[in-house]
Amino acid sequence: MMPNPSSIPGIDALWPLCLDIVAQRRGHAAPQQWDAHSPLAWDASQGFALRGVWDDGAVELFDLLKPVLDRPRKSKPWLIGQLGQSLDGCVATHGGDSNYVNGPEVLVHLHRLRALSDAVIVGAGTAAIDDPQLTTRHVAGAHPVRVLLDPELGLPPTLRVFSDRQAATLLACDATRAAEAANRVGADQVLGVRGLTGVEGGLNLRALTAALEARGLRVLFVEGGGVTVSRFIAQGCLDRLHLSVAPVIIGAGRPGLQLPRSAAMVDCMRPSVRIFRMGFDVLWDLDLRAEQPEAPRS
């Protein structure tokens, strides 16, 4: 007998399960046995899988989120980045306006990624221009720890994240400037990272992720902007990137990815990709640890 379409579970039923998985990963809930009666199956080599009949939206969302959901409890840091960009590769106008490059579906997705991550990281440019809250207010789920990468200590202490107390906030700077940062925003909101600056080629992002790992923050979401996401990729620190392309042409705006030039096409990165429709936008899910199997080679 065909199931009654109205009784087929969808995203509303799936999302709480995703939050359960994350709560268990963080050790906030007792590990659950995903037995034969559970809507999810779990296997050590394959990770999570949906069991039974689900509607198309839930199946697609599960597929998209599975790489995040499959993170083991005590894994090394795992980083996912995102950029919402125009057809001409900009994440904001020249003046910094990015509200909104993408449609509402991508905004909800962004908040879902925050809810599934232990910490959300933004660059100083984004923090200064957007004064973001970095919460999960468009979805159910706990707020991540908010990390502002500000090695130059140029951010004003009046930013909302330093006083709204909606979630923990960490201003990340070099350990040598931690006391100075503490004077501005309070010691409890400073992450002094040993060796963050002073290395050739700019910020040492591995030192940052190690400092976050030491605080138990392992699944890290690099939300922007273009300079910051590019730095993580250039240093080989990003595992995955969600690049959401909107049907808008910004023209001479702030660029998204800015990476060192390649001499020839054969040298270019060709990460393994999956494509998801998000309203009128197209989300490219890039696995930066895997190459396209069919990548053209000379």
Q: Which stretch binds ligand NAP (CB under 6 A): 25-33, 44-52, 223-231, 287-295?
A: 223-231
- C-alpha 249/C-alpha 16 separation (Å) is 36
Q: How would you class 149 by CB atoms within 10 Å of its CB: exposed for 0-12, middle for 13-18, buried for 19 or more? A: buried
| Candidate residues 77, 81, 192, 224; the one interacting with ligand NAP per rule CB under 6 A | 224
Nearer to ligand NAP, 57 or 104 (CB): 104
Place of tokens 């660029």: 255
x/- string (CB under 6 A) for ligand NAP, residues 119-158? Answer: ---xxxxx-xxx---------------------x-xx---
Should residue 228 be labelled a site residue for ligand NAP when binding is judged by CB under 6 A?
yes
- C-alpha 118/C-alpha 239 separation (Å) is 15
Should residue 86 be labelled a site residue for ligand NAP when binding is judged by CB under 6 A?
no
x/- string (CB under 6 A) for ligand NAP, residues 184-203? Answer: --------------------
Given a contact cutoff of 8 angstroms between Cβ atoms, the answer to whether 231 and 258 are in contact is: no
Instruction: Please compute, for residue 80, the number of CA atoms within 13 A of its CA located in the half-sphere on the CB side.
Output: 25
Token digits for 30? 């007792």
Nearest approach, Cβ of residue 91 and ligand NAP (Å): 4
Nearer to ligand NAP, 173 or 227 (CB): 227
H or E segment to which residue 244 belongs: strand 240-245
DSSP 30-44: PPPP--TTSSEEEET
Nearest approach, Cβ of residue 31 and ligand NAP (Å): 35
Given a contact cutoff of 8 angstroms between Cβ atoms, the answer to whether 249 and 221 are in contact is: no
Total residues contacting ligand NAP by CB under 6 A comes to 25
| Candidate residues 64, 220, 227, 238; the one interacting with ligand NAP per rule CB under 6 A | 227
Applying CB under 6 A, the residues found at the interface with ligand NAP are: 83-84, 91-92, 96, 98, 101, 122-126, 128-130, 152, 154-155, 223-228, 254
